[in-house]
Amino acid sequence: MIYFDRVSKQYNSDTIALDDITFSVEPKEFVSIVGHSGAGKTTLLKMLLAEERPTGGTVYFGSHDIHALRRNQINKVRRRIGTIFQDFRLLSHLTAYENIAFAMEVAGRTDEEIASDVPHVLELVDLGHKMYNFPHQLSGGEKQRVAIARAIVNQPDIVIADEPTGNLDPVNTYDVVQILKKINDLGTIVLLTTHNKGVVDTIKGRVITMDSGKIIRDDPHGHYIL
């Protein structure tokens, strides 16, 4: 499903963000990517979202070389990827409902589908009662749950979660991890980057450990070891 083929990213002669990375992710996998700050975890996810271009190698999404795609094709690929970030990245002038509806609108879903799916997905993340709240009226955990709802509403092939628990307390962290596990149980690939040892050990999935832009360990049932 996802294949990184000898991917490198060098910003200048001194800064190498990714160094000859090769790995693949199969359907239904839950992959945790761990490593110190600056190890290259976020850059790796940005490659998959076509936010950054590699300086070497190829990133495949299915059979497509992501960076060879045209702008409108990249948009289509992004609609098949749900994204969750540490800083939530919600649209501040839209309510929780509208944030999720926006993701459905850009995917060309009808008003009827939106009216039926958005409340349903908000109930899934236990925020049905806050669907008309704006982001500034929500707590950190609630914002992250809205972001998760937005990420999954179009039933994507992959959910990318970049440090999703970084700004959350232990209770909300637990909730988010459980939701991600549930998403994975339903057959969606989850790619998670995290610093949190507890999160990785709870998931008990595949763990890729990165250091200085390289993969130093790829363990199918690994633990957080750094």
Partner 1 sequence: MLWLATKRVIRSGVLTFWRNSFVSLASLLVMFITLFAIGSIIFTNALLTSTLNQIKDKVDINVYFLTSAQEEEMLTIKQTIERLPEVAAVEYVSREQALAEFKTRHADDSLTLQALEELDDNPFGAVLNVRAKEPSQYAGVAAFLKGNDVLTESGAPIIDRVNYEQNKVAIDTLSKIIDSGRQLGAIITIVLVFLSVVISFNTIRLAIYVSREEIGIMRLVGASTTYIRGPFVVTGILYGIIAGILTIALFYPLVLWLGPRTSDFFAGLNLTTYYIDNFVEIVLVIIGSGVAIGSVSSYLAVRKYLKI
Residue closer to partner 1 (CB basis): 130 or 150: 150
Segment 166-195, which members bind partner 1 (CB under 8 A)?
none
Q: Does 69 bind partner 1 (CB under 8 A)?
A: no
In order of 1, 109, 120, 121, the CA distances from 25 in angstroms are 6, 28, 29, 26
Q: Does 25 bind partner 1 (CB under 8 A)?
A: no
Residue closer to partner 1 (CB basis): 26 or 111: 111
Contact mark string toward partner 1, 107..126, x via CB under 8 A: xx-xx---------------
Element at 147 (helix H, strand E): helix 140-152
Q: Does 67 bind partner 1 (CB under 8 A)?
A: no
- 224: Cβ–Cβ under 8 A, 6 or more apart, which residues? 32, 34, 196, 197, 200, 201, 207
C-alpha torsion angle, residues 117, 130, 145, 107 (rounded to 10): 30
Q: Which stretch binds partner 1 (CB under 8 A): 20-28, 72-80, 173-181, 190-198?
A: 72-80
Segment 88-107, which members bind partner 1 (CB under 8 A)?
89-94, 102-103, 105-107
Q: Does 76 bind partner 1 (CB under 8 A)?
A: yes
In order of 53, 115, 223, the CA distances from 109 in angstroms are 30, 10, 40
User: Do 218 and 206 meet the contact criterion of CB atoms below 8 Å apart?
Assistant: yes
Give the CA angle between residues 47, 52, 58 to the nearest 5°.
50
Q: Does 15 bind partner 1 (CB under 8 A)?
A: no
Residues that bind partner 1 (CB under 8 A): 49, 51, 71-72, 75-79, 81, 83, 89-94, 102-103, 105-108, 110-111, 150
